[in-house]
Amino acid sequence: MWRVLGAFMNNRGILLAGGVGYNILLSTIPLLALTMVLLAGIVDEQQLFKVITFQLNHLTSAHAEVVLQAVHALIDSRHAIGTLGIPVLVVFSSFAFHNLEGALAIIFRSSDNELKRSAWKSALLPYAFIAVLGIGLMILALTVSLFTHINQVWAAFHGQDLLLASLSGFMLNLASFIGVFLLFSAIYKIMPVEKIALRRALVGGFMATLLWEGVRLLLVFYFAHLSYVNTVYSSLATMIVLLFSLKVGTAILLLGAQAIAELERNVRLGVPWYQDTRNNSNSKTNQRQARQRNAH
């Protein structure tokens, strides 16, 4: 833990988290609006908003309704935006992933690392994540819609709801947890230029998701009962809370990446995971030799 925190601070992790968190806020509204517009003909809008509300509660911790109001306003003005405005929304939606890719490149960097990703892959990778997120939201919304219709038919014939209807909120929260876990794991596995072992990406994603869920609940309680942010920032309080929540969540995501980077570093050097190699004068030589052995 001390090694990971030290490396995280040396990489200016807090500064990186602030930049990525700001870009996530910049990308969230156009991304959700674009998703709503594209899926409006496939999924019931009410069910889609219900699913998105649950996802936002896991993303922003508080004041998710403010983001939803902005999404509603953007959707209501989609006729003014027109077809030519859709590419603009797509570009704005990709800002967070481009920025996150740069932050991960700093965390996973190595002084003698010559691995590079081609320009076209770096350009297309954020849009691949956007497509996967859209498909995931569509599947979840279709599942919720299907279950709602089944429950309505069951209630019409039997006069009572299905037993699982009372668990719908729990199931949506579980689906949101699994979605965040899969997203974190995919980021750890795919976004770094270096090849990351799948098991480490999954473990890192699970631990980061657990940590975020705990911190999210603490933030909700803090802003609801203990915070003076409304007194200090007045009308800007909502924006401050959103930015702070996203910064904390991004810091957790980058901390998980830093832990994976430390483990991968020891694997490349051929030393146990618990051994600290930061002060080892021969670490660069050992790393080059390990890579040469792997290449052969």
Q: What pLDDT digit, counting tens, does each position of 85-98 carry?
A: 677 777 777 888 88
Confidence of residue 294 (pLDDT cuts 50, 70, 90): low
Work out the percent of the chain whose per-residue pLDDT is above 90.
Answer: 4
Residue 293 lies in a domain: no
Contacts of 265 by beta carbon, 8 Å cutoff, 6+ apart: 110, 277, 287
Question: Which of 6-20, 61-75, 217-231 ranks highest by mean pLDDT?
Answer: 6-20
Work out the percent of the chain whose per-residue pLDDT is above 70.
Answer: 71
Residue 69 lies in a domain: yes
Confidence of residue 262 (pLDDT cuts 50, 70, 90): confident
More confident residue, 167 or 148: 148
User: Over 70: is that where the pLDDT of 153 sits?
Assistant: no
Mean pLDDT of 34-38: 74
What is the per-residue pLDDT for 270?
A: 79
User: Over 70: is that where the pLDDT of 245 sits?
Assistant: yes
Residue 219 lies in a domain: yes
For 47, 69, 76, the CA distances from 54, given in Å and listed in that order, are 11, 15, 21
User: Over 50: is that where the pLDDT of 202 sits?
Assistant: yes
More confident residue, 11 or 61: 11
Mean pLDDT of 147-171: 63
Q: Measured between alpha carbons, how far is 196 from 257 in angstroms, rounded to an integer?
A: 10
Residue 6 lies in a domain: yes
Residue 31 lies in a domain: yes
Q: How many domains does the chain have?
A: 1
Q: Measured between alpha carbons, how far is 107 from 258 in angstroms, rounded to an integer?
A: 6
Residue 259 lies in a domain: yes
What is the per-residue pLDDT for 246?
A: 83
Mean pLDDT of 171-192: 83
Could you tell me the end-to-end alpha-carbon distance of the chain, in angstroms, rounded to an integer? Answer: 34
Confidence of residue 152 (pLDDT cuts 50, 70, 90): low
Mean pLDDT of 202-230: 82
User: Over 50: is that where the pLDDT of 38 sits?
Assistant: yes
Distance of CA 288 to the CA centre of its chain: 33
Domain that holds residue 132: 2-288
What is the per-residue pLDDT for 282?
A: 47
User: Over 70: is that where the pLDDT of 168 sits?
Assistant: no
User: Over 80: is that where the pLDDT of 43 sits?
Assistant: no
Residue 240 lies in a domain: yes
The residue among 81, 83, 78, 92 whose CA lies nearest residue 37 is: 78
Residue 294 lies in a domain: no
What is the per-residue pLDDT for 114?
A: 55
What is the per-residue pLDDT for 102?
A: 85
User: Over 50: is that where the pLDDT of 112 sits?
Assistant: no
